[in-house]
């Protein structure tokens, strides 16, 4: 795969409360090791770690110091990328499948920018103070996942544009869209969920048993 894989892994995992997620072990592997398993063919792997973190040994990756935000961490990784296509994937999503990666990659190669999304399974409401408020139609909404794929030059331009304008974003697709470039949507997968809260670890341990089997 002639693609640079960028793994922002420099977060502190504050909502989880167990330190940086890259080093957290689930089913005998770190989340970083799990995240890398979905991209066996990536020609280049760049990982942003929290400042001062020791780079793990034995992994085929180049480690950089991340920034204060995910956006900054990705911007640093992008500077170091040397291939024309990049995949950006959260270390916090250890169970993306190779099928999902291939879907995103194909769409990114064809269009320049692609992101996986899922429909919402629950009712959505805008609370009125402490009370149940207006229901937001969920049919029109999607949950956004990673990996997201881009032409490297396009994502660099989007990050530079955001920096000039002072835009902040929680993912890369929205920066590309802010630049005025369309981002293709592909089907995400529920198992590529983001480990964010302590309860998510229970599901992660269960999935690790299946993935390890």
Ligand X SMILES: C[C@](O)(CO)[C@H](O)COP(=O)(O)O
Q: Can you give the binding site for ligand X, defined by CB under 6 A?
A: 70, 90, 144-146, 170-171, 194
**To the nearest whole angstrom, how small is the minimum distance from the Cβ of residue 69 to ligand X?**
8
* Partner from ligand CTP, ligand X, none contacting 89, C-beta within 5 to 8 A by type: none
Binders in 81-140 for ligand CTP, by CB under 6 A: 90-92
Cα–Cα distance for residue pair 93/37, rounded to 1 Å: 11
**To the nearest whole angstrom, how small is the minimum distance from the Cβ of residue 58 to ligand X?**
27
Does 196 bind ligand CTP (CB under 6 A)? Our answer is yes
* 117's tokens: 């999304």
Query: SS3 for 88?
Result: strand
Q: Which residue is nearest to ligand CTP (CB)?
A: 11
Does 66 bind ligand CTP (CB under 6 A)? Our answer is yes
Question: In Å, how far from its chain's centre is CA 187?
Answer: 15
Q: Which residues of 112-145 are buried (b: 16+ CB within 10 A; e: fewer)?
A: bbbbbeeeeeeeeeeeeeeeeeeeeeeeeeeebb
80 phi/psi in degrees, rounded to 5: -90, -10
Segment near ligand CTP (CB under 6 A); pick from 6-14, 99-107, 147-155, 158-166: 6-14
* 9's tokens: 């892994």
* Partner from ligand X, ligand CTP, none contacting 146, C-beta within 5 to 8 A by type: ligand X
* Partner from ligand X, ligand CTP, none contacting 85, C-beta within 5 to 8 A by type: none
Does 143 bind ligand CTP (CB under 6 A)? Our answer is no
Query: SS3 for 127?
Result: strand
Does 9 bind ligand CTP (CB under 6 A)? Our answer is yes
Q: Which C-beta is closer to ligand CTP: that of 53 or that of 83?
A: 53
* 151's tokens: 């032409």
């Amino acid at each position: 795969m002639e693609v640079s894989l960028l793994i922002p892994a420099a977060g502190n995992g504050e909502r989880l409360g167990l330190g940086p997620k890259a080093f957290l072990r689930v089913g005998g592997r770190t989340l970083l090791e799990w995240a890398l398993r979905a991209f066996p063919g990536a020609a280049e792997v760049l990982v942003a770690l929290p400042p001062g973190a020791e780079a793990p040994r034995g992994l085929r990756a180049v480690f950089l110091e991340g920034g204060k935000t995910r956006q900054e961490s990705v911007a640093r990784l992008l500077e170091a990328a040397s291939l024309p296509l990049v995949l950006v994937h959260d270390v916090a999503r250890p169970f993306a499948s190779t099928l999902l990666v291939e879907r995103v990659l194909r769409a990114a190669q064809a269009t320049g920018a692609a992101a996986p999304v899922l429909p919402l399974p629950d009712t959505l409401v805008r609370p009125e103070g402490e009370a149940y408020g207006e229901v937001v139609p969920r049919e029109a909404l999607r949950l956004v996942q990673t990996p997201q794929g881009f032409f490297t030059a396009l994502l660099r331009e989007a990050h530079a544009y955001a920096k000039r304008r002072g835009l902040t974003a929680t993912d890369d697709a929205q920066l590309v869209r802010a630049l005025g470039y369309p981002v293709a949507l592909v089907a995400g997968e529920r198992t590529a969920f983001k480990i964010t809260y302590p309860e998510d670890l229970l599901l992660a341990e269960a999935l690790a048993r299946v993935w390890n089997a």
